[in-house]
């Protein structure tokens, strides 16, 4: 079993850091294996579609596939619609796939809770693109019920922000304190296995100093998976997106900080290199001759009249950080992101919750 804890992930560097301003990252990018391979593959977006395809295959053998007219791979929105507007048999088939996926998700979470960094976790927020669908929300809720009925004192809940925005908003919690004294917005990047997003995060500290009201002011999405670019083409496109976002924000009257927060898959080294875990990105992003942070600085060397500061962390960490203002009633919490793969991170709040009894997982279940 390969494990990447925060203490092994360049904890003392400016990138991939364990010690963040308001929280300690106790682990991320855990790579747990079983006989079938990486455990996270059992709870990825494609795993749900595999469950659905298997069920449809069994029914098709008898000539009774209720989704035959929907095509080979119905979209999430089409599946959501079938639950509410489809026939009873169509809805039942989709819900059967939801149940199977929820069982898989609960299985994966049980294994995560056996890890030292995860054993004290009291709450798990679940994000990623799959969470944004109704089938995703049902699967998350069902997995939570499964775990609680088995005696695990852990709460599952969806990430509050839209999946397109959580990975950007979380960058505000990577920023140094000086940003919040003179600026009202910052630049954020969310790099995923299918998409790259760049946007402006409006801090809105006048409404909530804890950043609970921070929001995405503007964003641009590029689905690189549809174009299969080279690494160089992808980075060049990112640079163009960043420059355009900065230009629009300045024209809109925002005081944009000379800071870019980046969420990227993989194990992030202190110097901004990616050790491993970026295999779904276009080209080789883990090459010793490639440094994403340096590339971003070259493409956007200044914002306003000041040199650009870049801070990068794992994308699941950054998405989890978007929930930080809402996690102050617990001490230990975690995030899972269901997308091309299953991202993961666990946290310990620096400020302990007041008047709160200890809560921990009450059973060490066998899988």
Establish if 349 belongs to a structural domain.
no
User: The CATH number of the domain where 272 resides is what?
Assistant: 3.30.420.40
What mean pLDDT is reported for the chain? Answer: 90
The answer, yes or no, to whether residue 109 has pLDDT greater than 60, is yes
Establish if 57 belongs to a structural domain.
no
Establish if 332 belongs to a structural domain.
no
Establish if 278 belongs to a structural domain.
yes
With b for 16 or more beta-carbon neighbours within 10 A and e for fewer, the 244-276 pattern comes to ebbebbeeeebebbbbbbbbbbbbbbeebbbbe
The answer, yes or no, to whether residue 4 has pLDDT greater than 90, is no
Establish if 169 belongs to a structural domain.
yes
**What's the pLDDT score for residue 70?**
64
Establish if 304 belongs to a structural domain.
yes
The answer, yes or no, to whether residue 176 has pLDDT greater than 70, is yes
Domain holding 171, by residue range, is: 163-319
Tens digits of residue pLDDT in 205-244? 999 999 999 999 999 999 998 998 999 999 999 999 999 9
Establish if 32 belongs to a structural domain.
no
Tens digits of residue pLDDT in 257-311? 999 999 999 999 999 999 888 888 988 999 888 999 999 999 999 999 899 999 9
Pairing of the two strands 33-34 and 309-314: unpaired
Euclidean distance between the first and final Cα of the chain, in Å? Answer: 16
Pairing of the two strands 215-222 and 196-202: antiparallel
CA 46 to CA 178: how far, in whole Å? 42
Number of domains in the chain: 1
Establish if 277 belongs to a structural domain.
yes
Among 325, 180, 199, CA closest to 263 = 199
């Amino acid at each position: 079993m390969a494990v990447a804890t925060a203490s092994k992930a360049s904890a003392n560097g400016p990138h991939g850091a364990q010690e963040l301003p308001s929280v300690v990252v106790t682990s991320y990018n855990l790579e747990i294996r079983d006989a079938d391979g990486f455990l996270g593959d059992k709870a990825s977006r494609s795993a749900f579609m595999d469950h659905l395809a298997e069920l449809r295959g069994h029914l098709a053998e008898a000539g009774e596939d209720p989704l035959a007219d929907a095509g080979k791979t119905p979209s999430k929105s089409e599946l959501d619609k079938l639950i509410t507007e489809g026939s009873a048999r169509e809805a039942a088939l989709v819900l059967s796939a939801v149940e199977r996926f929820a069982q898989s998700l609960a299985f994966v979470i049980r294994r995560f809770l056996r890890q030292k960094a995860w054993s004290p976790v009291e709450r798990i927020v679940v994000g990623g693109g799959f969470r944004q669908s109704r089938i995703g929300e049902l699967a998350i809720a069902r997995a939570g019920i499964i775990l609680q009925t088995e005696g695990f004192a852990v709460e599952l809940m969806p990430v509050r922000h839209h999946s397109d925005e959580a990975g950007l908003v979380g960058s505000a919690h990577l920023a140094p304190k000086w940003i919040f004294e003179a600026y009202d917005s910052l630049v954020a990047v969310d790099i995923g296995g299918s998409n790259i997003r760049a946007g402006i995060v409006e801090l809105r500290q006048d409404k909530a100093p804890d950043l609970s009201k921070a929001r995405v002011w503007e964003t641009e999405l590029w689905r690189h998976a549809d174009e299969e670019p080279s690494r160089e083409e992808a980075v060049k496109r990112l640079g163009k997106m960043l420059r355009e976002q900065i230009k629009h924000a300045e024209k809109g009257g925002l005081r944009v900080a000379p800071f870019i927060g980046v969420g990227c898959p993989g194990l992030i080294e202190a110097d901004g290199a990616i050790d491993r875990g970026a295999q779904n990105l276009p080209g080789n992003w883990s090459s010793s001759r490639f440094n994403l942070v340096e590339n971003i600085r070259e493409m956007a060397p200044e914002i306003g009249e000041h040199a650009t500061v870049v801070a990068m962390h794992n994308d699941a960490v950054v998405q989890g950080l978007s929930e930080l203002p809402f996690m102050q009633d617990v001490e230990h919490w975690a995030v899972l992101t269901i997308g091309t793969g299953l991202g993961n991170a666990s946290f310990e709040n620096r400020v302990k919750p007041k008047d709160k009894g200890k809560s921990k997982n009450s059973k060490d279940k066998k899988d």
